[in-house]
Amino acid sequence: MSELLLEIADDELILGWRDSEWTGIAPFLEEDVAFSSIAQNEVGHARALYELAARDLGTTADELAFDREPSEYRCSALVELRLPEWERTIARHMLYEQADAERLEQLKASDDPEVAGLAAKIDREEIYHRLHAEMWHERLKDEPRYREALEELRPLVGERNGHSPELDSLWEEMTSVRRSQPAGTKW
């Protein structure tokens, strides 16, 4: 179970990181607020999932989030990509939220009450992400660029074999502050 929790936590952490790249540069202010808020939620979900996994693995959430090698992350290829184009970001958002909803539905039925409880909590917050994705999907669904982005990104949803070089550069930035001090530093 801890492997599945890590898979989801890594997806949420890396996607949260990518979503946060829209802070300050979205096409309009409302979307600056929306993507910043979604990013904050996703990182919050990652933290809770890492905490649950950390109990089984005898480590801490921070160590799982930041002290592993890039090759150890289990995230999907979909969330790794830096997507500075709005229609591709919305396409990823839509594809991710659909896949995440299915996954959470299964986790909510888990025999482990802690896993099922956390999945139910995450799912309630994700409702708002899904509404946001659906709203944009409705707006863009007839735009050829958006349709192309959906087709381009769809095969990446469940792709977890190997990583793109984009994860490596993200990891460099994401962990640089933590790596600047010896392991075990109290921040």
Partner 1 sequence: MTEAQVWEALAEIPDPEIPVISVVDLGVVRDVRVADARVHVEFTPTFLGCPALEVMREAMAARIAGLGAEPDVEVVLDDSWSTDRITPEGREKLRAAGFAPPTPRGAGTTLVQLQSNGFRCPYCGSRETALENIFGPTPCRSLRYCRDCRQPFEQFKTI
Shortest separation between residue 116's beta carbon and partner 1, angstroms: 8
Nearest to 67, CA basis, from 80, 56, 54: 54
Closer of 28 and 180 to partner 1 (Cβ): 28
Shortest separation between residue 152's beta carbon and partner 1, angstroms: 26
Shortest separation between residue 155's beta carbon and partner 1, angstroms: 28
Distance CA 158, CA 77 (A): 8
Shortest separation between residue 168's beta carbon and partner 1, angstroms: 26
Closer of 131 and 177 to partner 1 (Cβ): 131
Closer of 3 and 125 to partner 1 (Cβ): 125
Binding residues for partner 1, rule: CB under 8 A, are 30, 33-34, 36-38, 40-45, 47-48, 51-52, 113-114, 117-118, 120-122, 124-125, 127-128, 131-132, 134-135
Nearest to 91, CA basis, from 120, 45, 41, 134: 134
Q: What is the 3-state secondary structure (H, E, C) of 38-91?
A: HHHHHHHHHHHHHHHHHHHHCCCHHHHHHCCCHHHCCCCHHHHCCCCCHHHHHH
Q: Are 96 and 132 in contact (CB under 8 A)?
A: no
> Is the sign of the CA dihedral 25, 31, 37, 40 positive or negative?
negative
Apex CA 107: angle with CA 33 and CA 131, to 5°?
30
Closer of 35 and 156 to partner 1 (Cβ): 35
Closer of 138 and 151 to partner 1 (Cβ): 138
Shortest separation between residue 179's beta carbon and partner 1, angstroms: 24
